[in-house]
Amino acid sequence: MANTKPVGVGDTAPDFTLASQTGEKVKLSDFRNKQAVVVYFYPKDNTPGCTAESCAFRDSYEVFKTMGAEVIGISSDSVRSHDAFAKKHNLPFLLLSDKDGAVRNLYGVPSAMFILPGRVTYVIDSQGIVRNVFNSMMDFEAHVKEALKTLQEKV
């Protein structure tokens, strides 16, 4: 299931099905022809950077919804970990568990320093086409700003 070429702008976003923090199965293609989706891959629940990034998405969630987009966070943490993380920080969006890293690999999300799972955000339009890919391990809030900018411009 590994992807030899990272998913880029203009590509059709690969479909996937993962469990959410409630255990419900979520399929990316269920959003197709309905709304845009902002998918952000992050390294780990309850770490300082990932908490800052997730809370930045939380703080702009209503803006995303107004723009017709859903937000989905993905890491390799368990459903239970995601549930606790979402409750602790009042995260109103889906957190999906990619336990074996298959979806991360499918998208070609790079590792940082060969050990940390990367932090990459994809803006996917309602037709399933990737409109922006933003990769930054340290500029957590820029993921939200870039996604909102892309939605305003293109999607």
**Does residue 138 have a pLDDT over 90?**
no
CB burial readout 16-46, b (16+ within 10 A) else e: bebbbbeeeebebeebbeebbbbbbbbbebe
CATH superfamily of domain region 17-153: Glutaredoxin (3.40.30.10)
Q: What is the pTM of this model?
A: 0.94
**Active site (catalytic) residues:** 50
pLDDT digits 0-9 by tens, 22-44: 999 999 999 999 999 999 999 99
Domain ranges of the chain: 17-153
Summarize pLDDT for 55-102 with one digit per residue, the tens: 999 999 999 999 999 999 999 999 999 999 999 999 999 999 999 999
CA atoms within 13 A on the CB side of 81: 16
